[in-house]
Amino acid sequence: MPVRILIYEDNTNLRESLVGLLELTGEYNVVASFPDCQKVSEQVHALTPDVVLMDIDMPGINGIEGVKKIRGFNKDVQIIMLTVFDDNTHVFDAMYAGANGYLLKKYVSDKLIHSIREVLNGGAPMSPSIARMIISNMQQPAREAGNDYQLTNREREILQLLSKGNSFKMIAAELLISLDTVRTHIKRIYDKLHVRSQIEAVSKAINEKLV
Amino acid sequence: MPVRILIYEDNTNLRESLVGLLELTGEYNVVASFPDCQKVSEQVHALTPDVVLMDIDMPGINGIEGVKKIRGFNKDVQIIMLTVFDDNTHVFDAMYAGANGYLLKKYVSDKLIHSIREVLNGGAPMSPSIARMIISNMQQPAREAGNDYQLTNREREILQLLSKGNSFKMIAAELLISLDTVRTHIKRIYDKLHVRSQIEAVSKAINEKLV
DNA sequence: CAGACAATACCGCGATGATGTGACACCGGA
DNA sequence: TCCGGTGTCACATCATCGCGGTATTGTCTG
């Protein structure tokens, strides 16, 4: 039986083109298409689609909120974002929300059919620039230029223990040194990181991947 | 002028097939191919490839270490991993190390040419299952089953400020409430998260993406 | 309307952390 | 050989935090 597809897209022309394009293949059955996400939960429940195509910029509830709603009760339906946004915020928010793919509208005519096939096969179709954004995000700093605070090994070790939630006492016990020694190390760490408290240090350590 | 390609692959048959496959196109110039990474730095320096195809499992230095070496001095050359491993560890290690693409060997004959083109156009070619692994990794917990601590909005807000390195005083000032109120909220947060200190709370909050 | 819950606020005390100052031993490079 | 960096330890003081209570207010809901 054909793959059931549900479309959210507020632009009427594009919405109808998508329906036409997909129906033409014979492989896909567009069970419905809507210009907004207001009733997304009911609709997904009622229509049991295999794949949802979701625009981001829609009146009322945007597509990312729509994805969150769907994921609130359904982890299985495949969701492909279909949008003009290629900035970090939108891409990552959509992915965090639970989208399975992210296709820029300029590639729709070329890649949509292929992407639907890919997402159904357990893939994660993404426009090339999106894929690159995601992997660059993983690669990030890792102690590059700006965030080299010249911590010694011992200091890094202590910062690590601190970041895992250990108190000074626990660190002292763990490393078999005195509480005052821990204090001294911590003081030096604060100096080097330019912070004034545990939390600032831990927050900085985690965010800048020092640990 | 043709794209310059450098290949690392310890299996002689596969290595020669790759060279043949690429040379056939006329579009690509395989500047060299080696069965191991021992001299990867010198070789990349000397041969100035546009694209490196890198196997992971090789004698001596493995492909992931090879990528790290290259990235130590060259951020521009495009590196595609070419391997049979599709487990989390290898994929993420390779990506963290600085690879631009990750192609499973079973797809090589079909997708290699296309992947090289894609990586040169600023994309990040990945086998479907790899792409899915990477995006599932981003989606993770996000307040699922186990880590739902029933924090109220206010509590979440305070935990967020705490995680950014604010002291109780600063939080009170920020939210225009009294220091004692902050204390009260913090107490409840500790109860709910089953922790006993700022750092534990912050560490838990960040690791479980509660903020 | 009663009861639950969230947010606010205050008190008090012991524990822990922040900060300064000083000191000593060890090691490796100038 | 002397010096700087590192790791170790101690003492002191004040600020902040952890935790036990208790209480008031407003909102939502059965």
B86-121 confidence digits (pLDDT tens): 898 888 889 988 999 999 999 988 889 999 999 999
Between A118, A123, A128, which is nearest B118 by CB?
A: A128
pLDDT averaged over consecutive 10-residue blocks of chain B (211 residues)? 91 93 91 92 94 92 90 91 89 90 91 93 91 83 59 92 94 95 95 93 82 56
Determine the distance between A198 (CA) and D8 (C1') in angstroms.
22
Q: Is the CB of B197 under 7 A from strand D?
A: yes
Query: What's residue A208's pLDDT?
Result: 78
Is residue B105 within 8 A of residue B99, CB to CB? The reply is no
Q: Report residue A143's pLDDT band, with 50, 70 and 90 as the boundaries.
A: very low
For strand C, is any atom closer than 7 Å to the CB of B132? Answer: no
Closest CA to A204 of A153, A152, A148: A148
* A82 token code pair: 């279909």
Indicate the SS3 state at residue B133: helix
Q: Do A199 and B204 touch (CB under 8 A)?
A: no
E strand or H helix at A208: none
Closest CA of chain B from A90, distance in Å = 14
Distance (Å, rounded) from C-alpha A44 to C-alpha A185?
56
Bridge partners (DSSP) of residue B29 are B4
Does nucleic acid strand C have an atom less than 7 angstroms from the CB of A187?
A: yes
pLDDT above 60 (res A27)? yes
With the C-alpha atoms ordered B185, B189, B195, B201, is the resulting torsion angle positive or negative?
A: negative
At B73, the amino acid letter reads: F
- For A123, the closest of B96, B124, B128 (CB atoms) is B128
Structure tokens at A31: 């069970």
All residues of chain B having their beta carbon less than 8 Å from the beta carbon of residue A202 are: 165, 199, 202-203
pLDDT of residue A145: 44
B138 vs A54, more confident: A54
Residue A27 or B141, more confident: A27
Interchain contact, A202 vs B203, CB within 8 Å: yes
Interhelix angle A153-163/B198-207, nearest 10 degrees: 80
Asked whether the predicted pLDDT for residue A44 surpasses 90, the reply is: yes
CA pair distance B45, B47, nearest whole angstrom: 6
CB-CB under 8 Å, B204 with A206 = no
Residue A209 vs residue A66, higher pLDDT: A66
Nucleotides of D strand lying within 7 Å of any protein CB atom: 5-12, 16-23
Say yes or no to pLDDT of A17 above 80. Answer: yes
